């Protein structure tokens, strides 16, 4: 496993003209890893990508690539000198050039350009299509050509800006996995920008969650889901709802769902009000339970069904049941908490406000 540091963003502030879109940004990417900048529209992820590419100057801090400072206040190394490849959202292929000519465009002076273009065509599974023109290809094929063109000059780092957003859901899923395999097979380091969690998790080794110009957490997909550092990350990643509770001991919380004990300890004093995150897989159907919830919505997912539940107090939850365990909207059912992993934060405002913060991202 290669742990050589490739990219380092140090105390970075960047934006357009005098407007600072991104503040105090620190992250690093090791050689061979795929990172992702994830967050809602307007949060700063594309601005950060453009600064790494050299398209935007930085106001504060620095960007280092392979130990060399490529951006700092007053100095921006030209994009073409960075050895950074870019795959754009709209593919940006040249309509008058064939597929093979598009791929070879960035290596026109290379004596082996035709051989490299052929290798790239094979790599992206378009070996027989080199003589076609972009308009003769499907969206997924055009995206592969854009990827092959970006990889042909052997960049030190590849940047991908919402690369699958123009494709249908099924194709996005398969192509994102394919792109990961291609990058890993070549040992190419990359940073992807997306607002799609599923895409981020499928492609990336490390994911950075952005919120309003700040990086809230840079971590593995597993840790973002199971060990979120802030309420925003907890509600943005995956699905879930906050439930108000009181600490009884470092690993035990009293809630309207009963006493919940987890396998981790917090430092808060007994009696401290906390907001506890419950994921759909933390709530299970228990027909004999005294704890009741009313079904207020359901989404059939194939192997499972996601139920939206409401407790007598009005608190909302979600739960995943096996799809053969079928219930009607409006039905009252018994539930119980099966969470051994407490994710809690010091209580902030009302639970309703917390719920509102979580809900827009529940199905992102």
Query: Domain locations in the chain?
Result: 5-226, 240-361
Sheet holding 332-337, edge to edge: 283-285, 332-337, 292-300, 304-310, 316-322
pLDDT at 215: 96
User: What is the Cα–Cα distance from 108 to 112, expressed in whole angstroms?
Assistant: 9
Q: How far apart are the first and last CA of the chain?
A: 32
Name beta bridge partners: 246: 254, 273
pLDDT band at 34 (very low <50, low <70, confident <90, very high): very high
pLDDT at 361: 42
- Fold identical between 5-226 and 240-361? no
User: What is the Cα–Cα distance from 229 to 138, expressed in whole angstroms?
Assistant: 41
pLDDT at 356: 45
And the tokens for 27?
């992250």
Q: Which among 349, 54, 35 is positioned nearest to 218, based on CA atoms?
A: 35
pLDDT band at 169 (very low <50, low <70, confident <90, very high): confident
And the tokens for 39?
């967050």
User: What is the Cα–Cα distance from 263 to 340, expressed in whole angstroms?
Assistant: 6
- Residues 6+ away with beta carbon under 8 Å from 352: none
Q: Is the pLDDT of residue 362 over 50?
A: no
φ, ψ dihedrals at 311, nearest 5° = -80, 165
Q: Is the pLDDT of residue 150 over 90?
A: yes
CA-atom Rg of the chain in angstroms: 24
Mean pLDDT of the chain: 91
Least confident of 28-42, 181-195, 315-329, 339-353: 339-353
pLDDT band at 363 (very low <50, low <70, confident <90, very high): very low
5-226 architecture in CATH? 3-Layer(aba) Sandwich (3.40)
Residue percentage of the chain with pLDDT more than 90: 82
The pTM for the full model equals: 0.87
Does CATH place domain 240-361 in 1.20.210.10? Answer: no
And the tokens for 51?
């600064």
pLDDT at 350: 59
pLDDT band at 3 (very low <50, low <70, confident <90, very high): confident
pLDDT at 360: 40
């Amino acid at each position: 496993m290669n742990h050589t540091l490739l990219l380092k963003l140090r105390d970075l502030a960047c934006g357009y003209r005098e407007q600072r879109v991104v503040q105090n940004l620190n992250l690093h990417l090791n050689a061979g890893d795929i990172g992702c900048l994830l967050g809602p529209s307007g949060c700063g992820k594309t601005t950060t990508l453009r600064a790494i590419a050299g398209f935007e100057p930085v106001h504060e801090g620095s960007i280092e690539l392979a130990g060399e400072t490529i951006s700092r206040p007053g100095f921006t190394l030209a994009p073409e000198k960075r050895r950074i490849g870019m795959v754009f959202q709209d593919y940006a292929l040249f309509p008058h050039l064939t597929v093979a000519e598009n791929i070879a465009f960035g290596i026109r002076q290379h004596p082996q350009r035709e051989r490299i273009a052929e290798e790239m065509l094979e790599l992206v599974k378009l070996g027989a299509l080199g003589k076609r023109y972009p308009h003769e290809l499907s969206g997924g094929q055009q995206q592969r050509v854009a990827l092959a063109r970006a990889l042909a000059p052997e960049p030190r780092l590849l940047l991908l800006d919402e690369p699958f957003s123009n494709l249908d859901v099924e194709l996005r899923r398969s192509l994102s996995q394919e792109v990961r395999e291609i990058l890993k097979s070549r040992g190419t380091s990359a940073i992807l920008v997306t607002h799609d969690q599923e895409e981020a998790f499928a492609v990336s080794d490390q994911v950075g969650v952005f919120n309003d110009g700040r990086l809230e957490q840079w971590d593995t997909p597993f840790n973002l889901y199971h060990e979120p550092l802030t309420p925003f990350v907890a509600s943005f990643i995956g699905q879930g709802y906050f439930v108000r509770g009181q600490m009884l001991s470092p690993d035990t919380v009293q809630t309207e769902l009963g006493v919940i004990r987890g396998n981790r300890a917090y430092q808060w004093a007994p009696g401290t009000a906390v907001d506890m995150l419950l994921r759909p897989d933390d709530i299970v159907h228990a027909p004999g339970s005294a704890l009741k919830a009313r079904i207020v919505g359901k989404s059939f997912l194939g192997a499972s069904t996601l139920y939206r539940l409401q407790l007598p107090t009005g608190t909302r939850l979600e739960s995943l049941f096996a799809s053969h365990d079928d219930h009607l909207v409006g039905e009252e059912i018994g539930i119980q908490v099966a969470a051994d992993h407490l994710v809690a934060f010091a209580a902030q405002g009302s639970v309703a406000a917390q719920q509102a913060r979580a809900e827009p991202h529940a199905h992102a």
